[in-house]
Amino acid sequence: MITVGIPQGLHYHEFGSFWQRYFDNAGVKTLVSAPTAKGIVNIGSYLSVDESCLPLKIYLGHVNSLLGNCSHLFVPRISHYHDNYFFCAKFAGLPDIVRNTFNLPADRLISPNIEGFSFLKNYKECYSISHQLGISSLKNCWAYHQARKVSQQDNQVLPPAGGRKIAVLGHSYLLKDSFFITDIRALLASRGIEPVFPDNVPARLLYQLAAQHHPEIYWQLSAKLAGAAHYFTHQANIQGILVISSFGCGPDSLMNDYLEYHELGRSKIPYMILNFDEQTGNAGLITRLEAFLDLIERRGKL
């Protein structure tokens, strides 16, 4: 029986809902890996080369957890979704990394080439998926059309004004992963503070802000981050900004300094950058975040 395993890491947190809808509509059984836990991080770190970023190590840990439970793995090769920006090289090379790490035959991977989000290009890639899995052309067309229609209806809602709010910035594969965000959410909730995220703002607006104020940025997710930084630093109800980053990320190593100089440092809003690696402990994280919140309170911002 065909079962498509979907690792819950990297692009899953940005586009996973679309692809899950596609497979569901096509009548293909899917299996999403369990949420990130310390064991997945440890296994992924063991499987990876030392130079790999933390999110890639976590992704390989998720792949490892699926191997014995599925017939195929969904690992798309993504170069870009937005016409003006490109993804980090690890997204384009992900199928090769997974295949070489686990010594998998090519036909066990489902790896469509995603270049933009045009209907025709992505439909062609879905056709290659349907051919590999034995799905009829008619069912494939309907499955893709329905998944795309629902995805276009997923409109983010701007956060309401008022209340005590902290903007939490970072890539989706960090902010939507419980391994990184659960303790942060819990601490903010215990202090009566509402977190707001880039996904609370329509992505179209974030890319427009990035193109207007940061036209030299090349990477797509970095542009989204820059747009979010500009948006939240100009909102009167934001009392502080927390940036979540990961160790070993090349784009982040440049973007953190870039955002500090162009957006965060020029704003009067207090901010802090938290950089995670596989050794980051809960106690140190909570201590730093509590100190940051205490600082904002002493400044009369909360």
Q: Quickly count: other Cβ atoms within 10 Å of residue 46's Cβ.
A: 11
User: What is the pLDDT at residue 8?
Assistant: 92
Which of 78, 18, 88 minimizes the C-alpha distance to 255?
Answer: 88
CATH of domain 3-152: 3.40.50
Mean pLDDT, residues 174-180 taken together: 87
Region 198-215 average pLDDT:
87
Distance from C-alpha of 156 to C-alpha of 207, rounded to nearest angstrom: 14
Distance CA 162, CA 296 (A): 17
- CA dist 95 → 29, 31, 34, 283 (Å): 21, 18, 20, 36
Q: How confident is the model at residue 289 (pLDDT cuts 50, 70, 90)?
A: confident
Whether the per-residue pLDDT at 221 is higher than 80: the answer is: yes
Provide the b/e sequence for 220-244 (b: ≥16 CB within 10 Å).
bbbbbbbbbbbbbbeeeebbbbbbb
What per-residue confidence (pLDDT) applies to 159?
57
pLDDT higher than 80, residue 126: no
Please say if the pLDDT value at position 302 is more than 60: no
Higher local confidence (pLDDT), 122 or 100: 100
Question: Is the pLDDT reported for residue 155 higher than 70?
Answer: no
pLDDT class of 169 with cuts at 50, 70, 90: very high
Share of the chain above pLDDT 90, in %: 19
Cα 152 vs. chain centroid, distance in angstroms?
A: 18
Q: Which CATH architecture has domain 165-298?
A: 3-Layer(aba) Sandwich (3.40)
CA separation for the pair 51, 60 (Å, rounded): 14
Choose the weakest-confidence range: 84-88, 99-103, 210-214, 257-261: 84-88
Confidence of residue 157 (pLDDT cuts 50, 70, 90): low
Instruction: Kindly report the length of the chain.
Output: 302
b/e burial code for range 154-193 (CB count within 10 A of at least 16 → b): eeeeebeeeebbbbbbbbbbbbbbebbbeebeebbeeeeb
First-to-last alpha carbon distance for the chain, in angstroms, is 55
Q: The tokens of 235 are what?
A: 């909102």
Q: What average pLDDT does the structure give for the chain?
A: 83
**What pairing do the DSSP bridges indicate for beta strands 3-6 and 194-196?**
unpaired
If phi > 0 it is left, if psi is from -120 to 50 it is alpha, else beta; for residue 56 that is alpha
User: Residue holding tokens 């008619």?
Assistant: 138
pLDDT at 65 over 90: yes
Query: Which residues have CB under 8 Å from 100's CB, separation 6+?
Result: none
State the amino acid at position 129 in one-letter form: I
Tell me, yes or no, if the two domains 3-152 and 165-298 fold the same way. Answer: yes
- Please determine, for residue 152, whether its predicted confidence score (pLDDT) is greater than 70: no
Closest CA to 241 of 221, 270, 206: 270
Q: So what's the pLDDT on residue 161?
A: 60
Q: What is the mean pLDDT of residues 50-79?
A: 89
Domain boundaries, the chain: 3-152, 165-298
| Residue 89: closest CA among 98, 77, 100 | 77
Structure tokens at 9: 């890491």
**3-state SS, residue 209:** helix
Which among 246, 278, 280 has a CA at the least distance from the CA of 46?
278
**Minimal CA–CA distance to 189: which of 169, 170, 163?**
163
pLDDT recorded at residue 89: 80
